[in-house]
Chain A
Amino acid sequence: MSHDEIARRDGDHAEEPIVNPGMHEHQPRPTDIDDVAGRRAERQVATFFGLSSVMAILFCVAYFTFDIGDEPDLFLGYGASNIFLGLTLGLALLFIGIGAIQWARKLMSDVEISEARHPSRSSDEDRDIALSALNQGIADSAIGRRPLIRNSLLGALGALGLPAIVALRDLGPLPGTALEQTVWRKGMRVVNDVSGTPIKAEQMEIGQLVNAEPGIFFAVDEEGEPVVEGVELQQEKAKAAVILVKMRPEDITPYPNRENWGVEGVLCYSKICTHVGCPISLWEQQTHHLLCPCHQSTFDLADNGKVIFGPAARALPQLPLMVDDEGYLVAQSDFPEPVGPSYWERG
């Protein structure tokens, strides 16, 4: 169908079955004809504006009256300062708004005005003038006749993109192998994540879960300064956090190469979800399932950390355990695979 046909079709339908009755005659409001009503509306509006001023002053009073901080004045169990500042500010603003709208509704002219619309497009004449001006400008620049200038300029502008990208290179280091390693090393103690105390397998009860971290997070150098601190600590925590769980040894079904990764039924898994990296911590004692609170991926810790539900695709990485001379749980090595969410180069 051509545009003409469509235009004709639309023309056919332009005919309206019912004639436009036109705008209604303006009906005066009580305030338009009754002086008393008008004065009443005026008083109402002024009252709202006046109340707003009162609220503004009360805001200042509340600001200086109520304490905040350690022991705030309480009102209905909440900080009185916040409540009264919010109330007075809110009402001060609301009253201005209500007053203004009442003013518009009752006292400002409510005669409807009809304004003609014009097509959004410019007139053909304007278009022609603009187009010829544009063509004239392009012709005067000779950009069409001198392609060498045009092409070299385009090349130069394109090349400017390189500095723009290269200059951002130092936003961060290249990933390298950083994601493949954690601070876990052979012989590093698995310690409680709050107290930093080392843990023995026999101290744990069947079904117990302990949030743990590598011992180095609590180590101090000869001057008493922590070995790992600040940003580095946060970054390492984001990868090295683990959980210890103790299950009945007969419940555990390890892969053949993982048979000696546990100590007396105690297994150690990465705490970082393989989905998008939330720390996992919801433990179902009876089923040995571990649930991620962010997106509910569920892992079976008795069965090598396999995914049994949810959006995660990979099993939780397991940290091989052994005991040191004093009988405390330590790592046999770093994690055998990268922890946390998947990424392209992970393989």
Chain B
Amino acid sequence: MSHATTNGAKAATAKRANPLGGLLTWADDRTGLAAVSKKQIRKVFPDHWSFMLGEIALWSFVVLLLTGTFLTLWFKPSMAEVVYDGSYDQLRGLHMSEAYASTLDISFDIRGGLLMRQMHHWSAMLFIAAMFVHMMRVFFTGAFRKPRELNYLIGLLLLLLGVIEGFAGYSLPDDLLSGTGLRIADGLVKATPVLGTYMSFFMFGGEFPGDVIIPRLYIVHVLLIPGILLALIGLHMLLLVYQKHTQWPGPGRTNNNVVGYPMLPVYAAKAGGFFFIVFGVTALMGGLLSINPVWRYGPYNPAEVTAGSQPDWYMGFAEGLLRIMPGWETHIFGFTISWNVMLPGQIIPVMFLAAMLAYPFIEAWITGDKREHHLLQRPRNAPTRTAFLVSLMTAYGMLWMAGGNDLLAVIFNLNLNYITYFMRVMVFVAPVVAFIVTRRWCISLQRQDEARLLHGYETGVIMRSPEGAYAEKHLPISGDEAYTLTARDRDPLLPAPTAADENGVAARHVRLHRLRARLSRAWFAHNVQKPTTTELEEARHHAEHELAVRDDGHQHVSGDYTGDYELDGHAADGHQFDGRHGVSGEELRQH
């Protein structure tokens, strides 16, 4: 742009035509932004509803930052004892911590304070729930495969940090329920072998509850973890932009391109608009749905607890683990090992996380696949993977229910002890059943896809032969659908290596390869592979024969009919009602 060198009328017109030009030039002169952004401004993103789940998490995080900042303007992270003299009648005159008193002030004496508190809590729930569902979407569709393994790991880390951040925030108001949560956390920490009591004393600045845990959790909650979250979200987004989003296969959509709409203007409007929708829905929830009414619980008192104490939902599975664990404890050489707390509180949750973290690498090793994958897989086309996550989800769900065993007992009028015994068994049995059922279900769906490809779709047109035999007419599916169904990889089955193919030194490798071959069979052997070109050819030939119309206008009877009779009159070709052509003169019955 050279408008700076003239002051003529023409240059002035040019300026009016692009008022942004001057500003952009000024910025680019100093930062070179144009080179970085030239490809990003019209960057293409594919469209699918399931790609929106991560977006909910992203925008909820922004809502959390905004509402959280509002709350910090009044919240006092202090455990100093004060006498409450605010607006809430029932608690006036009571001794409580400044943290609890200021939470009451935000709820009752700051206009909009309760709204912001409830929005903050609701968006925290949305944030974690959306991350969970987003992670499931990524897992089920194989979006974690190369080159996106790193982003998957970052995502799991975000989920873990989100849960810790949620727990820290839940503890801050210092009400009876959050104090009970902290006390349970203290019990979990104390169960650590050797270091437990030291960790507890260092956390709480002495004996539980002490007077430092709230200010310490506060700085963790408002600075430390949000800072890490923000950095990791930034990295997550950067990798997404660099690697480009995955897409579903379809006509024109391959592993080598990305088809969709440009960032500016379509996604700027859609994603930007969606931010306002997430924010708006959160505001409606904050205004209309009560959450965590801490004024009802009262200030924290280590000698009190309420019946039906429940953590926030995302802690429910850990709560369930704690509840169904039998009371095992070992006393040895004058020391105590609390398996009843250590296993459910420390070891098993880490094992869940480790299984999720390790899965992409295990699968990649079993397939031996080193290619980049940008096309998503339908869950049915990866039956073992789908079944694996469903079984983990089932275990999670069982534990979640176990975390509410007291509520289940009350609501359904059941024996609490029996529910607990039942859950102790189901937490092992249900995931296995879920695994088997899901896997077979997926394989059945694959068979259905195969049948559609080879034999076409069911028209709903029933043909009767003169002998009275009935058969339903099938017609080929559209080319688009056929392509989409076949746009997937065949599953590799690694052959077992022969032991003699290497010179002695490689014996260990042979065993490793043999394990891999066995796993490969277990993983993929039952899957239905897409038909080959030859199979499709044969099926098409067969179908054409069936649909062929004889010279006299009569049609062969479809199905297995081999009799001598021909259909009387004009047969339906099955296209009457699928919109491929009009229906006039195509009445099914002529006499």
Contact = CB atoms under 8 A, between A and B. Distances in A.
A200 interface: no
A190 to B, nearest CB: 13
Contact of A293 (B87, B305, B369, B536): B305
Interface string A103-120: 110001110111111011
B115 A20 contact: no
Given A23-B251, A276-B322, A341-B341, A97 B197 contact: no
Interface stretch (A77-85, A131-139, A257-265): A77-85
Given A17-B531, A174-B198, A90 B281 contact: yes
A79 B114 contact: yes
Interface stretch (B159-167, B325-333, B353-361, B386-394): B325-333
A213 interface: yes
Interface string B392-420: 00000000000001100000000011001
A41 to B, nearest CB: 13
A224 interface: no
Given A16-B486, A16-B487, A279-B303, A69 B109 contact: yes
A238 B206 CA distance: 13
B272 to A, nearest CB: 6
A211 B204 CA distance: 26
Contact of B276 (A96, A114, A295, A340): A96
- Tell which of B147, B180, B303, B479 has the most Cβ of chain A within 10 Å: B303
A281 interface: yes
A87 B497 CA distance: 67
B368 A193 contact: no
A295 B309 CA distance: 9
Contact of B269 (A18, A108, A340): A108
B146 to A, nearest CB: 8
A103 B269 contact: yes
Nearest to B273: A100
Contact of B254 (A15, A20, A310): A20
A90 B305 contact: no
B460 to A, nearest CB: 25
B60 to A, nearest CB: 13
Most B CB contacts (10 A, CB to CB) among A231, A342, A345 go to A342
Given A175-B198, A311-B340, A296 B207 contact: no
A104 B532 contact: no
B256 interface: yes
Contacts of A204: none
A114 B201 contact: no
A249 to B, nearest CB: 28
Contacts of B89: 70
B23 interface: no
A346 interface: yes
A97 B371 contact: no
A185 interface: no
Contact of A92 (B203, B205, B280, B489): B280
Nearest to A23: B252
A278 interface: yes
Interface extent on A, as a size class?
Answer: 35 or more
Residue of B87, B108, B201, B532 with highest tally of chain A CB at under 10 A = B201
Interface in A323-347: 340-347
B259 interface: yes
A6 B280 contact: no
Contact of A276 (B184, B242, B259, B487): B184
Contact of B242 (A120, A213, A344): A120
Contacts of A347: 331, 334-336
B322 A89 contact: no
A244 interface: no
A310 B336 CA distance: 19
Interface in A20-63: 20-24, 63
A311 B487 contact: no
Contacts of A90: 280-287
B533 interface: yes
Given A96-B273, A235-B206, A85 B533 contact: no
Contacts of A278: 180, 183-184, 305, 309
Contact of A297 (B303, B327, B533): B327
Interface in B184-201: 184, 186-188, 190-198, 200-201
A237 B302 contact: yes
A345 B197 contact: yes
A246 interface: no
Contacts of B285: 86, 90
B44 interface: yes
A310 to B, nearest CB: 7
Given A1-B495, A103-B269, A276-B183, A345 B335 contact: yes
B288 A231 contact: no
B483 interface: yes
B304 interface: yes
Interface string B357-385: 00000000000111110100000000000
Contact of A113 (B44, B119, B278, B309): B44
A178 B530 CA distance: 69
Interface in A246-287: 271, 275-282
Interface in B140-196: 147, 180, 183-184, 186-188, 190-196
Contact of B111 (A17, A68, A346): A68
A234 B211 CA distance: 9
B203 A172 contact: yes
Contacts of A17: 486, 530-533, 535-536
Contact of A175 (B81, B197, B261, B287): B197
A82 B335 contact: no
B560 to A, nearest CB: 26
Nearest to B419: A296
Given A6-B369, A93-B276, A174-B198, A120 B147 contact: yes
Nearest to B421: A309
B480 interface: yes
Contact of A18 (B197, B244, B306, B486): B486
Given A279-B303, A344-B335, A104 B197 contact: no
17 contacts: A1-B494, A13-B489, A22-B252, A24-B252, A69-B109, A81-B111, A90-B282, A97-B274, A172-B204, A231-B209, A234-B210, A271-B303, A294-B184, A295-B323, A313-B338, A313-B340, A347-B336
Given A85-B115, A293-B309, A341-B187, 12 more contacts: A1-B497, A70-B87, A104-B266, A109-B266, A110-B261, A115-B244, A120-B243, A178-B201, A276-B183, A314-B329, A342-B336, A344-B336
Interface of A: 1, 3, 6-7, 9-10, 13, 15-24, 63, 68-70, 78-79, 81-87, 89-101, 103-104, 108-110, 112-117, 119-120, 168, 171-175, 178-179, 193, 211, 213, 229-231, 234-235, 237-239, 241, 271, 275-282, 293-297, 307, 309-314, 340-347
| 6 A-B pairs with least C-beta separation | A86-B287, A276-B187, A100-B273, A23-B252, A97-B276, A94-B280
